[in-house]
């Protein structure tokens, strides 16, 4: 957009002065206030806004993908009966990469957006705290919503109150499975086998006898039905020949 040259004629200047005085008196009498009186007014957030992260322990397979993908380094894996994530909300940037990367849907978002902590230590939310849904204390008297267009920006206030129950937003999980793209490039290092938490990767024995006879089916990776598609083997493979593929 190009800025137009402003007319400096006295009539135009006077008109601008009148405009500003008119606008100021209009706003002084009937203000279009756009700030939110926070505890007394609750802003209506869009449905897809990312919020507090909840953990379903029964689904977690301790694949560490959430901890590895976190760009802010906010997730730490703590050991209970297995490794489970805990989120440090002093660092968390609410990108929800962890939720999206979770292969089993153990982590999920919720519609809780305004969290309050009593101290800095409390912001390091433990796994046990992530497993239960928190509750919201109602302080708001009305609901407000921003109405933004290109020309206009105003705040709409409504008397009806929002439902404050915290819900899990269940992520849609497409089952995936590890798949070997080039079996002929396999080194047979068996790192994938070692890293797999479910013993889903089976390496068949392969030997070449002195007579030049091949015993066994060869160094072929076999992904069994146990695979949950956590992708640890994909990350571990030194030849980068493994990929995750969606299955029906």
Partner 1 sequence: MINEIIATLIEIFSSNSMQIPLIQPLVDYLMEIPLLNILVALILWRPFFAVVIMPGLIVLMLYLLYIVWFERKLTARIQWRVGPLEVARPIRGAIQALADGLRYFFQEAIVHRDAHRPYFVQLPILAFIPILLPIAFIPAGNAVGIKTPYAIQLIVAFLALIPITIIAIGWASNNRFAFVGSVREALMYVAYEIPFIIAVISMIYLYGSGDPYVAVEKQSLLPGAILNPIAFLVFLITMLMATSRLPFEIPEADQEIAFGPFVEYSGMLFGLVMVLAYEKLYIMALLFVILFLGGWNGIYCDLLGDLNAPLWLFIKTIVVISILAIVRSMYARYRIDQTLRYSFSWLIAFSIVALVVGVVAGWIV
Residue among 209, 211, 190 at smallest CA distance from 201: 190
Sheet of 53-55, strands arranged across: 53-55, 107-110, 168-169
Does residue 10 touch partner 1 according to CB under 8 A?
no
Does residue 33 touch partner 1 according to CB under 8 A?
yes
Backbone φ and ψ for 3, nearest 5 degrees, come out as -80, 125
Per CB under 8 A, the list member of 4, 10, 35, 119 interacting with partner 1 is: 35
Q: Which of the ranges 17-25, 47-55, 124-132, 204-212 carries the binding residues for partner 1, by CB under 8 A?
A: 17-25
Per CB under 8 A, the list member of 12, 18, 27, 73 interacting with partner 1 is: 27
Looking at the Cβ atoms of 6 and 210, the one nearer to partner 1 is 6
Per CB under 8 A, the list member of 1, 3, 6, 28 interacting with partner 1 is: 28
Does residue 165 touch partner 1 according to CB under 8 A?
no
CB of 43 to partner 1, least distance (A): 15
CB 233 within 8 A of CB 65: no
CB 187 within 8 A of CB 221: no
* Residue 64 zone, left/alpha/beta (φ > 0; ψ -120 to 50; rest): left
Within 13 Å, how many C-alpha atoms sit on residue 171's CB side? Answer: 24
CB of 37 to partner 1, least distance (A): 7
Does residue 20 touch partner 1 according to CB under 8 A?
yes
Footprint of partner 1 (CB under 8 A): 20-21, 24-25, 27-28, 31-35, 37
């Amino acid at each position: 957009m190009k800025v137009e040259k402003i007319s400096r004629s006295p009539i135009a200047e006077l008109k601008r002065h009148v405009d500003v005085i008119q606008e100021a008196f209009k706003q002084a009498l009937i203000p279009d206030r756009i700030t939110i009186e926070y505890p007394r007014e609750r802003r209506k957030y869009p449905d897809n806004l990312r919020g507090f992260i909840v953990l379903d322990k029964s689904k977690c397979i301790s694949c560490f993908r959430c901890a590895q993908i976190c760009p802010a380094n906010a997730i730490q894996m703590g050991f209970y009966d297995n490794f489970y994530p805990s989120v440090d909300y002093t660092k968390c940037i609410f990108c929800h990469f962890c939720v999206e990367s979770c292969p089993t849907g153990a982590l999920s978002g919720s519609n809780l957006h305004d969290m309050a902590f009593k101290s800095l230590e409390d912001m390091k939310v433990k796994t046990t705290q992530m497993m239960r849904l928190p509750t919201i204390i109602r302080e708001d008297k009305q609901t407000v919503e921003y109405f933004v267009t290109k020309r206009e920006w105003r705040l709409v206030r409504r008397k009806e109150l929002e439902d404050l129950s915290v819900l899990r937003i269940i992520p849609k999980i497409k089952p995936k499975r590890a798949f070997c793209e080039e079996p002929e490039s396999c080194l047979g290092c068996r790192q994938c086998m070692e890293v797999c938490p479910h013993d889903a990767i089976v390496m068949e024995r392969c030997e070449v006898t002195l007579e030049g006879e091949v015993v066994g089916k060869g160094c072929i990776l076999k992904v069994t039905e146990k695979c949950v598609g956590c992708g640890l083997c994909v990350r571990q493979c030194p030849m980068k020949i493994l990929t995750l593929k969606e299955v029906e």
